[in-house]
Amino acid sequence: MNWIKYTFFLVGLILLIFDELKNEDHSFMSIAGLLLLIIGLYIISKGIGDKPVYNPYAIKSYEEEE
Residue 66 has pLDDT above 60, yes or no: no
Are the CB atoms for 30 and 16 separated by under 8 Å? yes
Query: Average pLDDT over the chain, rounded to whole?
Result: 79
Length of the chain: 66
Are the CB atoms for 36 and 5 separated by under 8 Å? no
Residue 62 has pLDDT above 70, yes or no: no
pLDDT tens-digit map of 44-54? 888 776 667 77
pLDDT tens-digit map of 2-19? 788 888 888 988 888 888
Provide the residue ranges of all domains of the chain, joining segments of one domain with +.
10-25+34-47
Are the CB atoms for 37 and 17 separated by under 8 Å? no
